[in-house]
Structure 1
Amino acid sequence: MDETPGQHSKLPQVAILFAQFAAYHVDRVEAVARRLKGRAEVLAVEYATTSAVYAWEPAEGIEHARHVTLFPGQSYHDLGKMERYRAAKKALAGADMVCVGVPYSRPDIIALSWRLAAAGKRMVLMTESKFDDFPRRLAREQAKAKLLSPYKAAIVGGLRQRDYLQFLGFGDKPIVPGYDTVGLDRIRAQGGGETVRWEDRDFLFVGRFVAKKNLNVLLAAYARYRELAGAAARRLVLAGDGELADDLKAQAGEGVEFTGFLKAEAVSQQLARALALCLVSTEEQWGLVVNEAAAFGVPSIVSQAVGSRDALVRNGVNGYVVEPQSIESIARAMLALSQSEQAWQRYSDATAERAHLGDTERFADAVEALFDPTSEGASRALKFWQEISEG
């Protein structure tokens, strides 16, 4: 076990648990630690340094929270369930409130949540799951409801995540928004601050090349967009890599550029130069890249499946919400954002106005609201619900 130097505090301890830290996890725990300074010690716990799914760089920049890596230098998916359970139980023994950002259906997390709840810890679920992610089976959903019993509150992304928890019988337990957020200041600093001419902006996708990202349909829609736009057509930049890379490169026609996997700084620089982000997934619990695009006032074209649309995208106001299998609707949305600089600027300005809803200060509001229901953070969390409900 590895942790940052420092004396253990006698303040109440708020623990935040993730499988592995990426930069945006660091953003969140640091925002909470700054917010609760002098009132609580924040313990930032990650199981491992790497994983088999995400090629994130090791966590850096945790200064205000106490950072603990249970298995430094190891991969989360190489660890056994029992060793994960034992290590987490020991690390969280001194916590008063435990915010769990690992899927609650994993066997070791089920055991951990019940054990810690029995020990008097206030367990807080953090989730971005929503009902429409994929087909649901009643028996399985009923079983899930029982797994939520140890949790006394939840932090979720937005409206559909809240509705799903209520469907699962979360009852009158507190549910606050702000889970799916990133540090907008960090993203903007990485972008470099370069002034980009409208004429030089392109469409952009950022993510893994996997089936649920629906990139074959995006490429077909882009080809249709080129037919509609003619000589004025913008490029489509696909930033990422994955199992479908070869198939997508074979399908791609004129105007498509593949960058390969990019580090966080390079992603921010691509976003800062984009005309619009395209995320037309068939399954997308949230899509944090929409938050990142909003940091630069870049409008997004998203499918109905994308969770972040509830908070960050208003169809026809600051972006477009499209049907994931409709090639024509995606192409028409691309055309609408590429024809007029004046119209694009209106969309950009409206995007920038909503960007604060995707910032980690909203996550700090959520944790503060649960730590102290009389706080200003609690008032801001309530205002968040109002803003995303009213549109």
Structure 2
Amino acid sequence: MAVRRIAFAWESFGPSHLDRIEAAAAAGWSVTAIEFSPASSEYLWEQGELAGARKVTLTRADERVGTIRLAWRLFRAVRRSGSDVAFLSHYNELRVFLAAVLLRLVGCRVITLMVSKFDDYPRLLWREVGKALMLAPYDGVLVASRRTADYMRFLGFRRRPIANSLDSLDLARLRRLGTAEEAVAHADRDFLIVARLVEKKNLHFALRAYAEWTRNAVHPRRLRIIGYGHLEPELRALAGELGIADRVVFMGVAESAQVCQAMRDALCLILPSTEEQFGFVVIEALAQGLPVLVSANAGAVDELIDNGVNGWIVDPYRPQALIAAMALLDRDETVWTKASEAANTTAERGDVRHFVSGVAALLGR
């Protein structure tokens, strides 16, 4: 029996993409991984070697390529791979839309990869109609969460197949990176944020909640922030105004191993985003046995969080729930221990094997 040939296309590859591509290859498909450029325009992802799949990069780092030309290159890369199914991200970009149309014309099935939810931000009718048109070439969709699936039905995927678990990671890799020689005592653990320092991550809110928590804190815990972004000077200034500058540690950019180690040593992860399509960092935290205090807006809560068990779901506009959860984990070591154990147990929900299952469902295996 011939090996099924499939292709995946993203703007560029970070660790999460490599996890999924390699898992698909390990499942027995012949995989071609296509990236538009060797570096992301938005993320400072670590560069890694891709195992088990053929990698194609459509442009050089310093090369400027127009929409039509890149669409043609994407089309040709899929055709040359011999793939009969192409999984394409960035449906909303004209270059991807044109490539999808061309692939459909030559008999290749195209599947879109989707993380957006209806509640990400206010929706306008004319934009939603435009999105439905941009999605017309696709035979199916691989989504990140239940809310994404609902949104895709709204956009016209009522009869076209929908499969879940787009956003997942290799738990074995994460746990190898997070190994620790000895556990940190509950009293010595700090709060942790891992996020880009941009508006939608709602970090001003987090700093104010942390400042409020410090008034009645039992343990002198710090707030450690791993990430980069244009808001860093503003956030540092706010920490000073709130009188917590000596307790907030801006750790800057960190590699995956450093992030995993920080998670192993933390009390909990805080992710209070006002807009968060999914939140890979939640999977990373759970894999290290780290409870999460996560915004209800994050798609990850649909799939990963049992409220009050492995994490707490909080309102990103009202700080009381976040402060109460911080206080509970600070004061009660028994509650924290149970939440940590539950995080470790339920992390499997975010494992990359579920991505493989979703791909298989759309292929009709």
The corresponding residue for 1:66 is 54
The corresponding residue for 2:306 is 314
How well do the aligned residues superpose, as a CA RMSD in angstroms?
Answer: 1.6
Deviation of 1:171 (Å): 1.2
Aligned residues: 357
Deviation of 1:72 (Å): 4.1
Between the aligned partners of 2:151 and 2:346, the Cα distance in structure 1 is 24
Are 1:105 and 2:97 matched, yes or no? no
Partner AA of 2:264 in structure 1: A
1:225 to 213, 220, 230: 213
Q: Deviations over 1:331-360 (max 9, x none)?
A: 111111121221111111221222111111
Would the aligned equivalents of 2:162 and 2:362 in 1 still touch at CA under 8 Å?
no
Q: Deviations over 1:34-73 (max 9, x none)?
A: 11x2xx311111111112211112231x221111122244
Would the aligned equivalents of 2:144 and 2:165 in 1 still touch at CA under 8 Å?
yes
Would the aligned equivalents of 1:148 and 1:170 in 2 still touch at CA under 8 Å?
no
Deviation of 1:194 (Å): 3.2
Deviation of 1:195 (Å): 2.7
Are 1:89 and 2:75 matched, yes or no? yes
Would the aligned equivalents of 2:9 and 2:88 in 1 still touch at CA under 8 Å?
yes
The corresponding residue for 1:15 is 7
Between the aligned partners of 1:251 and 1:336, the Cα distance in structure 2 is 25
SS at match of 2:13: coil
2:66 to 80, 88, 111: 80
Q: Deviations over 1:282-301 (max 9, x none)?
A: 00001100000010111100
The corresponding residue for 2:192 is 204
The corresponding residue for 1:178 is 165
Partner AA of 2:93 in structure 1: R
Between the aligned partners of 1:154 and 1:74, the Cα distance in structure 2 is 32
The corresponding residue for 2:147 is 160
Q: Which runs of 5+ in 2 are unaligned?
A: none
Would the aligned equivalents of 1:49 and 1:74 in 2 still touch at CA under 8 Å?
no
Between the aligned partners of 2:238 and 2:226, the Cα distance in structure 1 is 16
Deviation of 1:11 (Å): 3.2
Between the aligned partners of 2:291 and 2:66, the Cα distance in structure 1 is 42
2:106 to 105, 108, 119: 119
Deviation of 1:113 (Å): 1.0
SS at match of 1:110: helix
Are 1:292 and 2:284 matched, yes or no? yes
SS at match of 1:259: strand
Between the aligned partners of 2:66 and 2:39, the Cα distance in structure 1 is 15
Deviation of 1:74 (Å): 4.4
Would the aligned equivalents of 1:225 and 1:233 in 2 still touch at CA under 8 Å?
no
Between the aligned partners of 1:150 and 1:144, the Cα distance in structure 2 is 11
Between the aligned partners of 1:162 and 1:294, the Cα distance in structure 2 is 23
Are 1:303 and 2:295 matched, yes or no? yes
1:339 to 331, 335, 356: 331
Are 1:251 and 2:238 matched, yes or no? yes
Are 1:48 and 2:40 matched, yes or no? no
Deviation of 1:12 (Å): 2.9
TM-score by length of 1: 0.88
TM-score by length of 2: 0.94
Partner AA of 1:46 in structure 2: E
Between the aligned partners of 2:291 and 2:159, the Cα distance in structure 1 is 36
Are 1:353 and 2:345 matched, yes or no? yes
Partner AA of 2:214 in structure 1: R
Deviation of 1:250 (Å): 1.1
Between the aligned partners of 2:289 and 2:62, the Cα distance in structure 1 is 38
Would the aligned equivalents of 1:145 and 1:170 in 2 still touch at CA under 8 Å?
no
SS at match of 2:37: strand
Partner AA of 1:92 in structure 2: V
Deviation of 1:327 (Å): 2.1
Are 1:193 and 2:194 matched, yes or no? no
**Distance change >3 Å, CA 244–CA 284, structure 1 → 2:** same
SS at match of 1:204: strand
SS at match of 1:165: helix
Between the aligned partners of 2:59 and 2:349, the Cα distance in structure 1 is 34
The corresponding residue for 2:263 is 271
SS at match of 2:193: strand
The corresponding residue for 1:364 is 356
Between the aligned partners of 2:331 and 2:66, the Cα distance in structure 1 is 54
Between the aligned partners of 1:52 and 1:42, the Cα distance in structure 2 is 25
- Percent identity, aligned pairs only? 38
Partner AA of 1:83 in structure 2: R
SS at match of 2:38: strand
Would the aligned equivalents of 1:224 and 1:328 in 2 still touch at CA under 8 Å?
no
Between the aligned partners of 1:308 and 1:79, the Cα distance in structure 2 is 35
The corresponding residue for 1:145 is 132
Partner AA of 1:211 in structure 2: E
Between the aligned partners of 1:326 and 1:87, the Cα distance in structure 2 is 47
The corresponding residue for 1:378 is none
SS at match of 2:217: helix
Between the aligned partners of 1:306 and 1:352, the Cα distance in structure 2 is 20
SS at match of 2:308: coil
SS at match of 1:111: helix
